[in-house]
Amino acid sequence: MDEFELIRRYFAHLGATRADVKLGVGDDAALLRVPEGTDLVAAVDTLVEGRHFPAGADARSVGHRALAVNLSDLAAMGAEPAWATLALTLPSADIAWLEGFARGFGELASAHGVALVGGDTTAGPLTISVQILGHAPRGSALTRAGAKAGDLLAVTGTLGDAGAGLALATGALEMHDFASARELLLRFEYPTPRLEFGIAARGTASAAMDISDGLVGDLPKLAAACGLAAHVDVERLPMSRALHAAADVDQARAWALGGGDDYELLVAVPPEKFGTLAARAMQLNLTLTPIGALRPGNTVTWTLHGAEFTPPVQGFDHFRRASTQITV
Amino acid sequence: MDEFELIRRYFAHLGATRADVKLGVGDDAALLRVPEGTDLVAAVDTLVEGRHFPAGADARSVGHRALAVNLSDLAAMGAEPAWATLALTLPSADIAWLEGFARGFGELASAHGVALVGGDTTAGPLTISVQILGHAPRGSALTRAGAKAGDLLAVTGTLGDAGAGLALATGALEMHDFASARELLLRFEYPTPRLEFGIAARGTASAAMDISDGLVGDLPKLAAACGLAAHVDVERLPMSRALHAAADVDQARAWALGGGDDYELLVAVPPEKFGTLAARAMQLNLTLTPIGALRPGNTVTWTLHGAEFTPPVQGFDHFRRASTQITV
């Protein structure tokens, strides 16, 4: 099977069928109709084998994650996803792998109404770049900037699960509680982009970003974009029962602070609007936990039970990985 | 320097400054304003070191080519480019390389009014994916389909130069005519996307595509998309004086047929409109050479001086490279 046959077979009709796709995979470019009165929202994220997922990881999970990390960026903007392109570099034309990858990618795309509209398949070390395109009503998208001093900081869901899941996937962690282990592993392998919550937060949250590199790495970026200081009460970080089953509280907290890969949303919200936003989260079957606040200044500080606290881990950095980061 | 500093330093303000970029590099996603009454045009292309360019190739050329191959896809649609995102996987944070890459990418982006609006930098084997976004007046974009039997086939510029340029770059070819060698090398290292011609061909050409994999590989795709047979008179293929200086006519023809990387445009055009299109090309200082025609049927045939001809090379295929393809 040649390259073109490969592309046709697995990627010609992946994801949703949309009337606004005038021309999809198979020409030099795709033709898309962006709804009037909207801003186009575009993001790109790459996964590299052995770096963002363990070598030999299940192809279906890789397909899911390649799209999920991009959908999470749109969630952070409060945007509605619509179209994706895929640049797939593969060591060989491995049919079983392609089938699994296409299944993971396609299921998530269909679930969120995303059509794959373009792709490029090349030979080389396994690398997957997805560009996601979506839209939001003009001027309504959330950004990292815009919050005011006094706004609360809050996160969706629970933190640290994916960090523990990655440790399980690489054999760095073993657990006898199989139900909890499975839950943590799924949180790493099949992250859930918080798209509905992002849309619900438009007009209520004052700033938003997704937590992809760990709270310790990501929060300073939001604070800097707002031109404010941030403070977090570490004991407020939402952690799952499964995470507590995996390790003692210090290790659990380390994952919650710096583990990365959770793809929860970090939002700033004026205190008087927090109740509204939390209620919307509840309607989506999602928790929204206040963890701190923004203040005048330019520092990021952490306390644990009232005492100053230094996070034990750094954010995910591809060129200088923190020593506590598990190498995959 | 950490990953985020790298991105900020080299890619925060690459290319043109555009009023329709409401939010560029540095948030979770970019916010772009697509002109009303247009179709969004999106394409993605990846370059892998050792596959699409020789290992150790000049970084400025790599930056230029990574964008040029994508701009060429928009040219084939008759679209006007506007925004790009860049997924860059790098073995290490090599400052000199990044500077060269940013220069090559940035110069070409600025020349065509393209703003870099998003990026992702990851560690791994050198791989560059660019997604290009542009637009065309609604319904006006050129596609590979739509030509009628009897339409002429024509190509811009000259074919085969980049193939010879690649042979020079890899040491597979040596030349004593340094001026010609330089010309051929530049055609490989700094291809020119035919954007102005693509726009000029809207409403006149009946189908179009760019020649990235060689005419022998690409023409069958256009013919299939049109549901027609194609015929080419091989002696009509436009070849440069520099190419003839590089090798005998058989080898020159082999490069013109299958060399790839020329990024000229292949168009179909009704005979009565050919003169108009050729005149527009001339205004752009570009030749447009008729090389054959589309006919009822589903074959692709070639003749040389009236006799049936079998092209000596196949198109570029990343998973099954033709034996005559020079391995880089």
ipTM, 2 dp: 0.90
Would you say domain B152-308 falls under CATH 2.40.110.10? no
Taking CB atoms and an 8 Å limit, are A40 and B26 in contact across chains? no
Q: Which amino acid, one-letter code, is at B71?
A: L
What is the tens place of the pLDDT at every residue in B178-234? Answer: 999 999 999 999 999 999 999 999 999 999 999 998 999 999 999 999 999 999 999
Note the pLDDT of residue B2.
64
Taking CB atoms and an 8 Å limit, are A74 and B29 in contact across chains? yes
Alpha-carbon distances of B124 from A114, A131, B21, B87, B188, rounded to whole Å: 28, 19, 30, 12, 25
pLDDT at A327 over 60: no
Taking CB atoms and an 8 Å limit, are A141 and B23 in contact across chains? yes
Taking CB atoms and an 8 Å limit, are B85 and A318 in contact across chains? no
Residue B253 sits at φ, ψ, to 5 deg, of -65, -40
- Distance, in Å, from the CA atom of B48 to the CA atom of B53, rounded to the nearest integer, reads 7
Out of B1, B141, B319, name the one closest to residue A2 (CB). B319
CB distance A244 to A160 below 8 Å: no
DSSP B253: H
Out of B30, B42, B143, name the one closest to residue A118 (CB). B42
Taking CB atoms and an 8 Å limit, are A40 and B34 in contact across chains? yes
Residue B200 sits at φ, ψ, to 5 deg, of -65, -25
This prediction's pTM: 0.91
Would you say domain B3-137 falls under CATH 3.30.1330.10? yes
Note the pLDDT of residue A291.
98
Nearest Cα of chain A lies from the Cα of B271 at a distance, in angstroms, of 24
User: Edge-to-edge strand order for the sheet containing B288-295?
Assistant: B207-211, B264-269, B152-156, B288-295, B229-233, B300-304, B307-308
| Residue pointed to by tokens 């045009």 | B41
Mutation for testing the A interface, residue in B129, B132, B267, B320 having most A CBs under 10 Å? B129
For chain B, give the mean pLDDT.
92
Note the pLDDT of residue A147.
97
Confidence band of A94 (pLDDT split at 50, 70, 90): confident
What lies within 8 Å, CB to CB, of B198 at 6+ separation is B74, B75, B76, B77, B78, B79, B142, B208, B265
Out of B42, B47, B319, name the one closest to residue A32 (CB). B42
With CA atoms as reference, report the closest residue to A289 among A308, A322, A267, A258.
A267
Mark which residues 207-236 of A lie under 8 Å from B by CB: 208-210, 221, 225
Q: How many residues does chain B have?
A: 328
Q: Report how many helices (DSSP H) and strands (DSSP E) chain B contains, helices first.
A: 10, 13
Note the pLDDT of residue B123.
84
What mean pLDDT comes out for the span A219-226? 97
Nearest Cα of chain A lies from the Cα of B176 at a distance, in angstroms, of 34
pLDDT at B320 over 60: no
In terms of pLDDT, which residue wins out, A44 or A325?
A44
What mean pLDDT comes out for the span B151-167? 97
Q: Does A28 touch chain B (CB under 8 A)?
A: yes
Q: Does A36 touch chain B (CB under 8 A)?
A: yes
What is the tens place of the pLDDT at every residue in B44-85? Answer: 999 999 888 888 889 999 999 999 999 999 999 999 999 999
Q: Does B317 touch chain A (CB under 8 A)?
A: yes
Domain positions in chain B are 3-137, 152-308
For chain A, give the mean pLDDT.
92
Helix H or strand E segment including B197: helix B195-201
